[in-house]
Amino acid sequence: MEAIKDVLGKTETKKKVKQINVREFDERFYEFGDEYAPSVTYMLGCVYPAGYGLAQWRGDVGNQRADEIMEMACEDGSYVHNAIEKILKGQKIDGEEISSRFKSKRALKVKKCLKGFLDFCEKYQPKIESMEYIVFDEDLKLAGTIDLKCRLNIDNYEGIWILDWKTSKSIHPNNKVQLSLYKHIDKEVTNCGLVHLGNTTKAGYSFLPLKDEDNQKFLKQGLLANKMFQTLYPNAKPSNTVFPKYFSL
């Protein structure tokens, strides 16, 4: 883990725009000046095909139960992402705190994800450029937050990689579309890959770099999806509903 510690002091997070989370309406936008840009994930969630498997799963478990499961998975994933950021900054995550916060199966999943992350770092020894940083394309009217920008020993630290941590049960095409759009927006990036944490592999994680031909394919899909979004939702912006700080009569 020395490769991580050596560069922590050089880590820079450049944020050109302010992120807006409208959690009550499950919307994510970024603000630039007096305008708004949807996040890449929100845009894809609106127009990119969900796939037959997801529709069938919802039909099997029912929409209400499916929403509950997805909400818990989202909470677990957010915890893992935040924990990874803390670990990369030199902090420690208490396993007992994980056990007390989550029920047994969920706690086990979170611990597997974090163990997979540590094993990934042990093998590929990332040297950090930036983490949790925002990318923004004014022409595409798209923005997003990238988990990690780094160099890896897989290519002798010559290329600049962006990595996206995934804790879902499976990797879906829209995950690769998302990553390809991030790479397209950040012109410094030469390589990108998904790190699937806590899966059923022996290693406990899978590192899935996108080949050039795959990246071009998924980028094309992402650009087409964004055109569809801009057509269906011109001038999209967060809801202007304002909630009071306290609720009382």
In the sheet that holds 142-151, the strands lie side by side as 127-137, 142-151, 161-166, 191-197, 205-209
What residue ranges do the domains of the chain occupy? 2-232
> Can you tell me whether residue 191 is helix, strand or coil?
strand
pTM for this entry: 0.84
pLDDT at 241: 67
Is the pLDDT assigned to residue 15 strictly greater than 60?
A: no
102: left (phi over 0), alpha (psi -120 to 50) or beta: beta
With cut-offs at 50, 70 and 90, classify the pLDDT of residue 26.
Answer: very low
CATH number of the domain located at residue range(s) 2-232 in this protein: 3.90.320
pLDDT tens digit string along 84-115? 999 999 999 999 999 999 988 999 999 999 99
**Phi, psi of 171, rounded to the nearest 5 degrees:** -95, 130
Look at 22 and 163; give whichever has higher pLDDT. Answer: 163
Task: Note the pLDDT tens digit of each residue in 36-92.
Answer: 889 999 999 999 987 666 666 566 667 777 667 678 878 888 999 999 999 999 999
The DSSP bridge pattern shows strands 205-209 and 27-32 to be unpaired
Instruction: List, as own/partner pairs, every contact residues 22-25 make where C-beta atoms lie below 8 angstroms and the sequence separation is at least 24, other chains included.
Output: 22/238, 22/239, 24/241, 24/243, 25/238, 25/239, 25/241
